[in-house]
Amino acid sequence: MAMTDSEYHKLADEMFTAIEDAIENAIDEQDADIDIDASGNVLQLEFQDRSKIVINKQEPLHQIWVATQFGGYHFSYIDEQWLDERGDAGEFMPFVIESIRRQGGIDLKL
């Protein structure tokens, strides 16, 4: 059965909130230098070196897209998890955690 827009937004918003909360904890615990800009369907993370990771909701496709300095990835909700549609990046949250570590040197705890 196809996911409704409401279900999509609930699931995507949960992921965005988890990321924001983990970053806030990292700022407090690790004195991490990262700026968060949450605006509409976009979560933008900017690191000390001015590089960015942009995470955005693609409502028409029911996907979450992630752009890092290493590439762009599209995640779909399949079998109760967000998975990269090409399979390169695997599951969304471990990918985001690793991308933040690689790009910003920050270890998130979720």
Residue 109 lies in a domain: no
Per-residue pLDDT band for 1 (boundaries 50, 70, 90) equals low
Average pLDDT in the 17-37 region?
A: 91
Structural domain boundaries enclosing 34: 5-104
Residue 86 lies in a domain: yes
What is the chain's mean pLDDT, rounded? Answer: 93
110 within domain boundaries: no
Question: DSSP string of the chain?
Answer: -PPPHHHHHHHHHHHHHHHHHHHHHHHHHH---EEEEEETTEEEEEETTS-EEEEEEEGGGTEEEEEETTEEEEEEEETTEEEETTSSS-BHHHHHHHHHHHHH------
Chain segment 44-76, per-residue pLDDT in tens? 999 999 999 999 999 999 999 999 999 999 999
Confidence at residue 38, expressed as pLDDT on a 0 to 100 scale: 93
Domain of 79: which CATH number?
3.30.920.10
- The pLDDT assigned to 34 comes to 92
Would 9 be classed as within a structural domain? yes
